[in-house]
Structure 1
Amino acid sequence: MPVISRKGLSMPSSPIRKLVPYAEDAKDRGVDVIHLNIGQPDIKTPQVALDAIKNNDIEVLSYSRTEGTDQFRKKLAAYYKPFGVDVTHKDIIVTTGGSEALSFVMGSIADTDDEIIIPEPFYANYNGFAIAAGIKVVPVVSNIENNFALPPLEEFEKSITAKTKAILICNPGNPTGYLYKKEEIQKLAALVKKHDLFLVADEVYREFAYDGLEHYSILQEPGLENHSIVVDSVSKRYSMCGARIGFLVTRNSSVIQTALKFAQARLSPPTYAQIASEAALDTPQSYFDDVIEEYVERRNVLLKELSRIEGLKVARPQGAFYCIVELPIDDADDFAQWLLEKFELNGQTVMVAPAAGFYATDGLGKNQIRIAYVLEKNRLIKAVEILKEAIKIYSQQ
């Protein structure tokens, strides 16, 4: 029998999606599964984006340019300007989701066995992208006790070797919801300049900053033009996850030229989705004001309800729509599967994402889960009620 590649065998399963078969089985049994596991917003996609698809007069659905249409990239460049980011359309490559942008970045800046340093816990697919590219992830641990703030610079410096090519952050963070302060970005900027590394920032949640805090992009930091690379996406910003449109943004022309070769190999990003995404850029600020208000309310409700569970610890998100929860149990993977296979309360159960899959260090996150608060408030309250009862029963086994 032909043999599967070592790379394929080492690819991790998604902690967000690996329990789907158990959830489907539960639904087949008539159980209402409340999904806290995946960041699929229930916020309505802006009507202007939907109308752009309905009302276009395309007769031949042809390829677009490899780097995305000129008009879309020019509107993207204009989108960034109010945030203090001065880029042109030539600094942008449109991709099939932020995931493809990140894979292009890794392929452009690192060779097989090179290393990228990432504060953990981190978005689980970073591990998958790195393995696919033959790159080693070097984790630097952040912790729930200080809300997953940036680890001390000394911890990063200790991890830098001759094979280190970049530091990668997610800001605001998935899965932590942590929003890096300007001072923390400046510390990282000084470090990558000192060691001549890239600083890559996944900023797909940049619009979602709470409690009067402001997002500070690495593209705003002076003197970082040749070091900074941003990965962005329309998925969360406009509740358009199914559009699969992202973009890579950098002023480093060598990175752009190299990433473009990877982009040429996949031909072009999807045409209809670019049309919708370009139109979405005309979404008024009032849309985001309402969405942010809603997410803050959901976060506050979630944290209040979780505080009622004895022995539970939760980090307070400052952005995005996720939080890490430490449970009074030993094995969150087993607990998450048990919730779907063996537990229900009044015909309902919850699906969560075990957090061990968001760590690269073995043994970390075993008693943690990630919760996505993308559901309306009453549904969140019900979910925590189920979680509270489930923990009590599971702990008695």
Structure 2
Amino acid sequence: MPAISIKGDEMPASPIRKLTPYAEKAKREGKHVYHLNIGQPDIETPQIMLDAVRNINFKVWAYTPSEGIESYRNKLAGYYNKLGYAIHADDILVTNGGSEALSFAMQACVNPGEEIIIPEPFYANYNSFTRSAGIDVIPILSRIDEGFALPPIADFEAAVTSKTRAIAICNPNNPTGYLYSREEMEALRDLCLKYDLFLLVDEAYREFCYDGREFVSPMQLDGLEQHTVVVDTISKRYSACGARLGCLITKNKELWNVVLKFAQARLSAPAVAQIAAEAAIDTPQSYFDAVKKEYTARRDTLVTGLNAIDGVFCPNPGGAFYVVARLPVDDADRFCQWMLEYFSYENQTVMMAPASGFYNTPEAGKNEVRLAYVLNRDDLKRALICLERGLVDYPGRIGL
């Protein structure tokens, strides 16, 4: 039999999806599975988006421009400029989801064999994108006992080598929900300017900042115009994950032109999704206010419930819709699988994402899990009961 490629063999499995076969088996056995493993909200997509799809009347389902439909990019620029980004439509390139934007950005900014610094834990697919591009990830460890705040900037500076080309962050953070402060963002800016590095920022959760906390984008900071690449997606903002539409933003025209070549190679982003997304920009602020209020209540339900369980610790995040919790278990990967394969309480169980898959440092996150508060509060409360009972019954529990 022909040998599989080394790159393919080394591609990491997703900690978010790798336990899906066990969840499906549990469902076939009649168990109800509370999916806290994946950021698929149950929030309704804005009606204006759905109506735009229903009212499509084109006669030919044609290719769109590789950089995205012009009317959509013009309208999208207006959305960002209300946030103070000071961009034009020609600074935006529409992509097949935020994932493609991230992949394009990494390949355009970093050569194979070079390095990108990322504070961990980080979104697990960053490992997949960098591995595909032959890029080395240099992780900087953030700690649960410090709420996953940005590690000291000295740690980043100590990691800079002749091979370093970029620093990447997700703000608000996936998987931790940490919201980076203005001071932290300015410290990253100063470091990128000092060493002439790109700053790649995944802003998929921009709309979800809680407790009146400020969101700061590098697009709002002076001096980074040629260094910043922002990646975004409509998946979370409009609860439209299946549309698979995102964008890349940069004022660096040389970089934008390079990314365009990647976009031309894959032809175009989906036409229907762009039509829906263009309509979605007119979504009233009341929609986002209601969603933020709901997510705040869900966060409070989950964090309070987790910290009430004996042996569990969970910091209170400032954004996104995830938490990372430390559990009293020997191995979170084993525990998450056990919950699906062997445990049920009143014929219910919980699916979580083991946090080890969000780290590069060996053994880091071994007793941590990521949970997404994308279910209604009643379901979250039931899931918490299942988790508490599961921790009591789990044979690998520690600290008893």
TM-score range normalised by the length of the shorter chain: over 0.9
Q: Residues 186-335 of structure 1 correspond to what in structure 2 (within 5 A)?
A: 186-335=186-335
**Post-superposition offset of 1:36:** 0.5
Q: Residues 37-116 of structure 1 correspond to what in structure 2 (within 5 A)?
A: 37-116=37-116
Q: Residues 336-375 of structure 1 correspond to what in structure 2 (within 5 A)?
A: 336-375=336-375
Name the SS of the counterpart of 1:165 in structure 2.
Answer: strand
Matching residue of 1:12: 12
5+ residue gaps, structure 2, are none
Distance between the aligned counterparts of 1:315 and 1:12, measured in 2? Answer: 27
Matching residue of 2:120: 120
**Post-superposition offset of 1:129:** 0.2
One-letter code aligned to 2:170? C
TM-score by structure 2 length?
A: 0.98
Deviations 1:254-311 (A, max 9, x none): 1100000000000000000100111111100000000000000000111121122111
Name the SS of the counterpart of 2:108 in structure 1.
Answer: helix
Matching residue of 1:383: 383
**Post-superposition offset of 1:396:** 6.7
Deviations 1:302-323 (A, max 9, x none): 1121122111111211000000
One-letter code aligned to 1:197? L
Is this contact kept in 1: 2:234–2:240, CA < 8 A? yes
Inter-CA distance 396–224: structure 2 relative to 1 (3 Å threshold): closer
Distance between the aligned counterparts of 1:76 and 1:362, measured in 2? Answer: 41
**Post-superposition offset of 1:395:** 4.2
Is this contact kept in 1: 2:204–2:237, CA < 8 A? yes
Deviations 1:207-252 (A, max 9, x none): 0000010211111011100001000000000000000000000100
Name the SS of the counterpart of 1:385 in structure 2.
Answer: helix
TM-score by structure 1 length?
A: 0.99
Name the SS of the counterpart of 1:216 in structure 2.
Answer: coil
Distance between the aligned counterparts of 2:396 and 2:135, measured in 1? Answer: 43
Distance between the aligned counterparts of 2:83 and 2:275, measured in 1? Answer: 23
The answer to whether the aligner puts 1:143 opposite 2:143 as a matched pair is yes
Distance between the aligned counterparts of 2:113 and 2:330, measured in 1? Answer: 34
Name the SS of the counterpart of 2:248 in structure 1.
Answer: strand
**Post-superposition offset of 1:84:** 1.0
Using the aligned pairs only, state the percent identity.
56
Distance between the aligned counterparts of 2:122 and 2:19, measured in 1? Answer: 19
Distance between the aligned counterparts of 1:281 and 1:41, measured in 2? Answer: 19
One-letter code aligned to 2:283? T
**Post-superposition offset of 1:77:** 0.4
Is this contact kept in 1: 2:330–2:396, CA < 8 A? no
5+ residue gaps, structure 1, are none
Matching residue of 2:177: 177
Is this contact kept in 1: 2:72–2:278, CA < 8 A? yes
One-letter code aligned to 2:309? I
The answer to whether the aligner puts 1:2 opposite 2:17 as a matched pair is no
One-letter code aligned to 2:260? L
Inter-CA distance 277–154: structure 2 relative to 1 (3 Å threshold): same
Distance between the aligned counterparts of 1:58 and 1:363, measured in 2? Answer: 54
Name the SS of the counterpart of 1:314 in structure 2.
Answer: coil
One-letter code aligned to 1:377? R
One-letter code aligned to 2:137? V
The answer to whether the aligner puts 1:30 opposite 2:30 as a matched pair is yes
**Post-superposition offset of 1:56:** 1.5
Tell me the number of residue pairs that the alignment of Structure 1 and Structure 2 aligns.
397
